[in-house]
Each structure stands twice: as C-alpha cells, then as structure tokens.
Chains A and B, each alone.
Chain A
Amino acid sequence: MDDYTVPLRDIRFVLDHVCRLEEITTFPGFEHVDVDTVDGLLVEAARFMEEVFAPTNRIGDLVGSRFVDGEVVTPDEFKKAWRAYVEAGWNAVSGPPEYGGGGFPHVVGFAISEMMTASNLAFSLCPMLTGSAITVLDDQPDETLKATYLEKLVTAEWTGTMVLTEPEAGSDVGALRTKAEPSDDGTWAITGTKIFITWGEHDLAENIVHLVLARTPGAPPGTKGISLFVVPKYVVGDDGSFEENGVRCVSIEHKLGIHGSPTCVLEFEEAKGWMVGEEHRGMRYMFKMMNQARVEVGLEGLAVAERAYQKALRYARERLQGRAVGAPPHERSPIIEHPDVRRMLMTMKAYDEAMRGLLYDVAGSVDRSRHHPDDVVREAAAARVALLTPVAKAWCTDVGVEMTSIGLQVHGGMGYVEETGVAQYYRDSRITPIYEGTNGIQAVDLVLRKLPMHGGRVVREYLAEIEGLDAPLAEAGPRFAAMRRELAEALRVLSEATTWLLGRDDPRDVLAGATPYLRMFGTVAGGAYLVRLALAAAKDGEDPWLRAKVATADFYARELLPSAVGLLGAVKAGAAPLYALDPEQLAPAR
C-alpha cells in the first residue's frame, strides 16, 4: 500500500540527456566506469531501496527514533535495513577509491540518493550527512585523520554529522560560542552546547564522527574566527580500541515530521577534537560540506514530491466519485477523470521532472568541476554549481512542499487523516525549506553572492544557454510551438529581472526582490530542462513514454511557466512596500 517505484527510466533519461553521463565516464579517474555498469548498478539499487528502505518509512513516522534513558533508540526495522545497506556497500559507490570507495561519478551516487531519500527521507539524512563528512575529510590535508575515519565512513559502518547550530547561532553561525582550548598533546578540548544536530546520536553505527564548529582562544568575532574540528563519539586508539569522549546527547526534539531522524541537543564537555585544516578557516571548510548538503536537500524536495505523486496517482485511479463529463450515465468515474484532479496530477508530474532536470544538472556539473581534463571547463562547471546551488535547494524544496500538499489534496478528506499516510509526506517535507540554510538565506546567497560572480558572466552564460534552445525549438515543429513562445517570454522577463538586480545599488532593494527572483529563476530553469528533455525524447522515437515527455513539457510551458512572468513586479518593487508599515501597524488593533 505504501510502495514506491523508482522512476528508473526518468532517472536514466536525465543522466543521458542532462548530465551527458557517457561523456562523464570518459573523464580521467572514471576508466572503470561505463554506462552499462551504471545501468546495472541503478537497477539493483532501485530494487534494494524499494524492498528494504521504502517499507521502513511509515514505521519511522509512527514509532520514530526515541530518547530512552539517555540513549537514542531507532526502530528495529531501521537497524535491519542499515545493516543490509552497509553489507551491500551502497554507501561506497561514489566514495574515494583510496579508502574503499567505488570511485564512481558523483551523479551515480546522487541517483542512488534520490531513491533512498524517496524511500525514507528521515533515514536518508544519516548517509547524506555521512557523505558530506567524507567530502570534508577527503579534501583536508591531514593523512592521519583520513586514515582514521575515511574508510569506516565510506562503508557507513561509522556515520558523520554537521555540528553548527547553537541556541543563539542559527542562520547567524558567526554568533556561535562553543570553545576549543588547546591541549598539551596537540589536540583540542571542545566545550559547548549544540542544537539541531541531525543523527547526532543513535544506535545504528559503532562510532559517530562529528564535524564541529568552535572558537579558539582570542579568535576574531564572527565567521572569521571559527575553526572546524573532528570530534568522534569514541576516540579511536592506535590499536582500534574505543575510548569514551566528552560528548553526550541530552535530549532530542519533538518535531512536525521526519520522526525517524533523531534531532539532538549535544553537550560537549572538554571533548577531544582534532583541528581540520587551518585555524579560523572553519567556515570555508564547512561551506564545502554545506554546499553539497544543500543540493542534497533540494533532492529531498523532489524525492518526497515524487513519492507523494505516486501515491496520489494510485488513489486518483481507484477512487470513484461523481461522473466525469462524457462518462456513461449512472457510472461513477475515477477522480482522475475530473479536470481539477488531472490538473493536480499533471502539475506534480511536470514539476517533478523539472526539478530532476535542475538537480541532476548540478550533480553532473560537480563531476565536470572535479574530473574534466580541461581546467577552463572545470572552472566553468564549478561556477555553474555555485550559481545553481541556492536555486536547487530553495526552489526544489518550496515546490516540493507544494507538491506534497497537492498530493494530500488529491486524497480529499482522507488525505487529512493520518492513517492514509500522505500527511506524512507533507509533514516530512516541511523541514526542507528550513534546514541547511533557510530558503530566505538561499535567495540572499543567489542575489548578493552568485549573480555578481565574474561580473554577472556566470548567470548571463546560463541564460544564454536557455536562449540557445530557441533554434532547435523552432525546427522541432508545431508540437513545440507553445514551448518556444512561453520559454522566450519567461526568459525575457528573467533577463530583465537579472539586469535590474545587478544594476541596483541599494542592497535593501536587492534583498527585497531576492525570494520572488529565486522562484522566477527556478521556474524558468525548470521549464528549460523539460524542453531539453522533450527535444531529446522527440529525437529518440515515438513510444508513449517518450511522447509523454513532449506533452509534459508542453503542459508546463502553458500552465506553469507563465507564473514566472507574473513575478517581475514583485522582484522590481524594491524594499519600500515591505517596510511601508512599522511593527506597531502590523499588530492587531481593537
């Protein structure tokens, strides 16, 4: 009843036509990779996630991870699934080969991530954070740290965390107060309280590797005085023995959703830590971790929306209510035959595929930025990742929440009843616009940091690429006429908004337009990916699945893309309308 089918053909299609996987497999370092092997891996990973992880989603919501006598206890089903995951080696696919990883392209691990996240969002956060910890540790120079932790993190026998937030330091990380005092043996003693630590404590793995931000004595205030430390739950001796460290979980949060994921308050009391890289440069390293995690959170938006869509579709085909126009008299129609329900399902399908295009483009660009033989291409790809990361995170999670809400709406009153199980998708997905940098922060990042990169060249090149679709659209015939018309209009508006933001001197005006601009950007970019996929589908042949690609892009162009055009006024309105009322005027009057 709660089953999930990995949309394997969609994933492969995007890998082929957005990521250009075949080209990626020719890069240095991927000599052992070919498209057939990737296909074989994805087929087996899909079966594993559907059969082993997807069934744990509901129990994770109902039972959740619990705090019992100072310990975090996960559901038994989680423990069993985790063991199977570690044994099967799925965590290692894209990991560094020097430490037992498969050395596969990032996009391949990303595709497996989509499957796992859709199977169980709360659970998937554990390997997701572990993956981020692997990236940070692999990038830093200390060989001892690598040797101690990487192999076990790659297999997921140990798991990783990101430890930033404190009660007074949320979005404003620079305000954190956790201290790091030097010890005689060259290590550091970490003391402080951290909150909102996802999978900060649990019973799945032998050891947990915390990556902790803290302040060294005399450090400058703000983000420039923060250093990064590795603080293991158990300190590992030379002989592999474990010694307790001064870190403990004091409580876990009661949350709206993702009940399977323990969100911990961690107390560090002179916990032994090792500095990562150089002092005061912690935010730089952490950003590496966060940027990767931000795209993965964007993927969560898609993954939960996809699962909500599948369930809504099944319900709409079975549920009989009313008689659709044109149905025989006295016959009750499945609700999928009613126009409003069709609109909801098409909207979900179209946004899902648009999100997948954007997200996998970022993931494929990560591979190009690391492995392409030409350094000009590598740099351009890195810039593309930087530009698109806030859009991938914020647009996909905002849209993701909306899609789970629509999925619930398709179920009518039954959707609001917890037993139906779709409310969980809505509740789970609601965290995604918040964590890993709120979507408001992402919009600020986009307009203040990303648009001005290289004097605006990066964004202009990206927009020019979308403009380049006009010629193939013109040649592609009448089925593509609406796509061509609507994409051109939306792109004209996005270019105008971009120019306006880049030319604005008052940062208050730029910030005021940030959120509607990000929405507009995501909507246009998403449409462009659908168009690209539709053009590829038209070339590939005529089976019903390929024809659906064209029809879905056409729907998006006519029904969803025009919403971007309507946002131009909001982008250019400036700060004045937001501040027209003072806080007193916002308060209720009697």
Chain B
Amino acid sequence: MKIAVCAKQIPDPATPYDLDPDHHWVVRPDDQVLDDTDRYGVEIGLQLAEASEGTVTLFSMSPAGTLQGIRQALAMGADKAVVISDPALKGSDAAVTAKVLAAAIEREGYDLVIAGTESTDGYTGVVPQMLAEHLGVPSLTFAKHVEAADGTLRIHRQTPEGYDVVEAALPAVVTVTAGVVEPRYPTFKGIMQAKQKPVEELSAADLGFGADDVGAAGSGTVVEGVTPVPARQAGEIVEDDGEAYLKILEILERAKVI
C-alpha cells in the first residue's frame, strides 16, 4: 500500500515565535521542528505500511529550511519526503495549501492519505477535508484506530460518547487524533539513515501553478487582526472555616459541573 502522510514543519513550540506585523503570518525560522500532532499520523502510517509491505511518503508544504522537522519524521521510519518549498507560496491560506498538497500527492500516487486533525501553529483544521475534495476521494475524520485491507479503510471515529465505526473504499483521506497511539521514538540508526533518505523539493511551478494561483495572491483569506489571549483572571479563594465544602458545591453547581 502506498501511504501518503502529511507532515508539517513548525517553529519550535517551546520557544515563542513571531507574527509579521503586516500580514500576521507566522515568521518561520530556518530550524523548524516536526509538528507533534503529525507524529501520530506518521506512526499509524508506519504500522499500516509494515502490515502491508507498503511505503510511507511524507508530504509537506513549507520553507524547507534545514529540513530538521522532515528528518525527524524520516528518522521515525518514513521512506521518503516530498517538500513543496517556494517563496511564491508564502501567505497561502488553508484552501491553497490543500490544493498544492493534493497536486503533489496526485503526482506521486497513493492509496491512503493520513493527516493530523489540525496543525499546532495554524489550527485551521480544514486542510485534510479540502484535500480529499481536490483528490475526489472520501474523507474520514477523527480516527482513533485505523485498519486498511482489501481496498477498504475502516476506522474508529472518536465521538463525545465513544466511537463510530466508519468504512470507506480506498483511496481515501483520514485524519487521526493526537494521543491515540504511542509514536515511536526515532532510533539512533533511524536518525543516521534519515540523512540518506530522498527528499524531493518541488516548486509551485513544478506542480503547474502560476504565481497568481498560490500564496497571498491565490488566497481568499485575509487575517485582519490578531489579539493576544487575555491574561487569566485570578481564581476565587475559599477559606475553610469548616464548611468550605458547601461553598465549593455551590460554585461547582453554578459552573454546571455537577
């Protein structure tokens, strides 16, 4: 089975990053890391590939930089990567990102596309579904368990109550929720091998896009403003005079927790 896994390089979440003041786009340093939520997709992709003697190819759209984040996913065991890196792509919104990724995945060929539910830097959470639309295949979402065999994809779809079992014919796109499997740690050997694995870098033109199709020019989304998260309000302190539990019950009821 030919498995495509979408993987995003993002600025290290441990260090604060900037938005450029004119467009509110994330300023991307050379050294970016693999988005943690993508480790789950990579892990599930690797498990499916191991079961079917298949391959895992990573697809990523971002400034290539040092490729550190992509190497991290390759070190986990993915076979190769396709990175669409082009200054013309700067400012692309979710719709353009989906269009570009779809073109790259189509070009490579695939049986299954795996993505996280949303990225940790952008959080739009719509790229995988748009991607499925461009590819013209079913889109399954919020999988906490994935099986793929005999041309059928079968997932456990996380719901507030439990899970639904959902099936679709392959090829298809599936998003996996974070925390459902334990992503493997790259091994020392894996890290060394990752250096040798092929990384294909494509431009927008390689995929047949003109300058007006992508980037800010091709995007319908404009970020008008960004406001910092308000500081957290101070909590309410209940002094225990022997009957504080009554007060706490009242607060919990007011908050409709009980």
Seen from chain A, the residues whose Cβ lies within 8 Å of a Cβ on chain B are 5, 36-37, 39-41, 43-44, 47-48, 51-52, 84, 87-90, 92-93, 102
Contact = CB atoms under 8 A, between A and B. Distances in A.
Contact of A89 (B14, B71, B189, B195): B189
Nearest to B14: A5
Contacts of A5: 14
A34 B192 CA distance: 11
A88 B188 contact: yes
Given A36-B66, A43-B68, A44-B75, A90 B188 contact: yes
A118 to B, nearest CB: 17
Contacts of A43: 33, 68, 72
Interface in B161-189: 185-189
B185 A52 contact: yes
Contacts of A51: 185
Q: B14, B68, B191, B195: which has the most chain A beta carbons within 10 Å?
A: B191
B64 to A, nearest CB: 14
A88 B195 contact: no
Contacts of A41: 188, 191
Contacts of B68: 39-40, 43
B185 A92 contact: no
28 contacts: A36-B66, A37-B191, A37-B195, A39-B68, A40-B68, A40-B71, A40-B72, A40-B191, A41-B191, A43-B33, A43-B72, A44-B75, A44-B185, A44-B186, A44-B191, A47-B185, A48-B185, A51-B185, A52-B185, A87-B187, A88-B185, A88-B187, A88-B188, A89-B189, A92-B188, A93-B188, A102-B188, A102-B192
A92 B192 CA distance: 12
Given A88-B187, A93-B188, 20 more contacts: A5-B14, A36-B66, A37-B191, A37-B192, A37-B195, A40-B191, A40-B194, A41-B188, A41-B191, A43-B33, A43-B72, A44-B185, A47-B185, A84-B185, A87-B187, A88-B188, A89-B187, A89-B188, A89-B189, A90-B188
A92 B190 CA distance: 13
Contact of B72 (A44, A52, A89, A90): A44
A95 to B, nearest CB: 10
Contacts of B187: 87-89
Contacts of B186: 44, 88
Interface string B46-83: 00000000000000000000101001100100000000
Nearest to A48: B185
B182 to A, nearest CB: 10
A100 B209 CA distance: 48
Interface in B66-112: 66, 68, 71-72, 75
Contacts of B195: 37, 40
A39 B65 CA distance: 15
Nearest to A92: B188
A36 B31 CA distance: 11
Interface in B91-136: none
Interface residues of B, number: 16
A343 B66 CA distance: 39
B72 to A, nearest CB: 7
Nearest to A104: B188
A150 B75 CA distance: 26
Nearest to A93: B188
Of B33, B75, B192, most buried by chain A (CB within 10 Å of CB) is B192
Nearest to A36: B66
A328 to B, nearest CB: 15
Contacts of B72: 40, 43-44
Nearest to B75: A44
Contacts of A48: 185
A558 B29 CA distance: 36
Contact of B75 (A40, A87, A92): A40
Nearest to B188: A89
Contacts of A52: 185
| Chain B CB within 10 A, most for which of A43, A47, A87, A102 | A43
Contacts of A37: 191-192, 195
Interface in B16-38: 33
A243 B160 CA distance: 56
A41 B187 CA distance: 9
Nearest to A47: B185
A88 B195 CA distance: 17
A48 B66 CA distance: 21
Q: Which 10 pairs between the two chains have the least Cβ-Cβ distance? A: A89-B188, A88-B187, A89-B187, A44-B186, A48-B185, A88-B185, A41-B191, A89-B189, A93-B188, A40-B191
B143 to A, nearest CB: 24
Contacts of A40: 68, 71-72, 75, 191, 194-195
A87 B187 CA distance: 7
Q: Which of B72, B75, B186 has most chain A Cβ within 10 Å? A: B186
Contacts of B71: 40
Contacts of A89: 187-189
Nearest to A44: B186
A570 B132 CA distance: 78
A41 B33 CA distance: 13
Nearest to A87: B187
Interface in B188-246: 188-189, 191-192, 194-195
A581 B16 CA distance: 62
A89 B186 CA distance: 9
A92 B75 CA distance: 16
A107 to B, nearest CB: 16
A43 to B, nearest CB: 7
Which of A37, A48, A87, A88 is the most central at the interface, judged by chain B CB atoms within 10 Å of its CB? A88
Contacts of A90: 188
Contacts of B188: 41, 88-90, 92-93, 102
A43 B75 CA distance: 12
B9 to A, nearest CB: 13
Contacts of B192: 37, 102
Q: Indicate the member of B66, B185, B188, B195 with the most A CB atoms within 10 Å.
A: B188
A47 B191 CA distance: 13
Quick one: which of A40, A47, A93 has the most chain B CB within 10 A? A40
Nearest to A39: B68
Contacts of A39: 68
A41 B14 CA distance: 18
A432 B72 CA distance: 36
Nearest to A34: B195
A93 B192 CA distance: 10
A84 B71 CA distance: 21
A53 to B, nearest CB: 11
Nearest to B76: A44
Contacts of A36: 66
Interface string B128-164: 0000000000000000000000000000000000000
Contacts of A92: 188
A252 to B, nearest CB: 31
Contacts of A93: 188
